[in-house]
Chains A and B, each alone.
Chain A
Amino acid sequence: MTLFDDFAPVVRPPELPRTDISYAVEDTAVGRLLLSVRPDGRLVTCAYVRSGDEEEAWLQRISDVVSPRVLRAPSPLEGVRRELDDYLGGRSTRFTVRPDLVLASAFQRSVLEGLVASVGYGSSTTYGALAAAIERPKASRAVGTALGANPVCVVIPCHRVLPAGSSADGQVRNVGGYAGGPAAKEYLLRLESGSSGRSSR
């Protein structure tokens, strides 16, 4: 029995204040990214979400690990969006936004921090070399896994890590795995090598 089903006042969604996590899903040159930030602007995710399920899974993880106060709000993400846009368009080579690796394990954090410290714009390394750089020379497979789960892609440049022997004569043959797919990885590598990444996609 639903006496009042026809009662449909004109209503609008609530307007809520900025909270623990603000997020937005952004379509970029390398694919769809879930951007989320803390109130102080630190970037918690810049994660590839190729389906609604992937988006849901990331948001649930943020809710479980950081805070369940997670709201979709585009304006706190404007700065990040602009920096990404400039970077992917080849108009800048660095980010000022600070990543927050709260979603990474201790090992993952050491891998990602080692990567940032040792591999600059336009250069690349291998899984084995990065494992050696963080003094875990036998852990190249674990390094690959850690990079694959990078919560802050592009900004923390896990795309600069390639399989051993993948490049010869300055030509990259096999870029290896990437959360955003091999095409996105190739786009970023070409962009950073300065050879017209923009026109390739």
Chain B
Amino acid sequence: MSLPPFQTLVDAHWRDVARLAHALAGPNLGDDVAQQAWAQALAAYPRVTSARNLRGWLLTITHRCAMDAHRAGRRTVAHEDPAALASAPAVPGPVAPDDGLWSRVDALPSRQREAVVLKYVADLDHRAVACALDTTPAMSRRLVSDALAALRVDLEDLR
């Protein structure tokens, strides 16, 4: 089993990992999530059994770290102020000059949002998205297409 030196992965994929972390966890937590994902990946790397889809492996770890950060964030908020939980945005909105697209992505049901971000921000295929979301490729396709349909309706309302 021959794995490339870990530095090769960092050089090739650190921007993608950072982009996905920022997209999933928002600008405040994005850096921490990316950092944590890299630390976890480094620790687990010698146990990886296939060098075929290391980018997908890294992005799956990033996704998991983002979800963990998310849950931890909710717990903190709930602990300090239960009322804030209901109004807290599921994902802090990334600041991007995109005519409100991100706020619409943000407003999607969480599974749809995760699927669409993994598909288009992380550029994963449906098999990898399914793997990250612990579901089937068919379900991933469904989630993404529902998300796109919802976004399309939203954006057409604007015109």
Contact = CB atoms under 8 A, between A and B. Distances in A.
State whether these chains interact. Answer: yes
Contacts of B7: 23, 59, 70-72
B30 A60 contact: no
Contacts of B18: 9, 11-12
B19 interface: yes
A4 B10 contact: no
Contacts of B101: 3-4
Interface in A36-79: 59-60, 62-64, 67-72
Given A59-B5, A69-B6, A69-B45, A3 B38 contact: no
A187 B132 CA distance: 56
Interface residues of B, number: 34
A103 to B, nearest CB: 14
A134 B120 CA distance: 62
Interface string A9-26: 101111111010101000
Nearest to A23: B7
A15 B121 CA distance: 23
B63 interface: no
A71 B6 CA distance: 6
A140 to B, nearest CB: 34
A4 B121 contact: yes
A7 B101 CA distance: 11
A117 interface: no
B6 A68 contact: yes
Contacts of B39: 14, 16-17
Contact of A63 (B3, B96, B120): B3
Contact of A70 (B2, B5, B102): B5
A2 interface: yes
Contacts of A106: none
Main secondary structure of the interface of B (DSSP, over half): helix
A64 B38 CA distance: 21
Contact of B34 (A11, A19, A69, A71): A11
A6 interface: yes
Nearest to B14: A13
A59 B15 CA distance: 22
A13 B14 CA distance: 6
A1 interface: yes
Interface string A67-93: 111111000000000000000000000
A9 B19 contact: yes
Contacts of A17: 39, 42
Most buried by B among A2, A16, A60, A68: A68
Interface in A117-157: none
Contact of B120 (A3, A60, A64): A3
Interface of B: 2-8, 10, 14-15, 17-19, 22-23, 27, 30-31, 34-35, 38-39, 42, 45-46, 94, 96, 98, 101-102, 117, 120-121, 123
21 contacts: A4-B117, A4-B121, A6-B96, A7-B96, A7-B121, A8-B19, A9-B18, A9-B19, A9-B94, A11-B22, A14-B10, A14-B17, A17-B39, A17-B42, A19-B42, A59-B5, A59-B7, A63-B6, A68-B46, A69-B42, A70-B7
Interface of A: 1-4, 6-9, 11-17, 19, 21, 23, 59-60, 62-64, 67-72
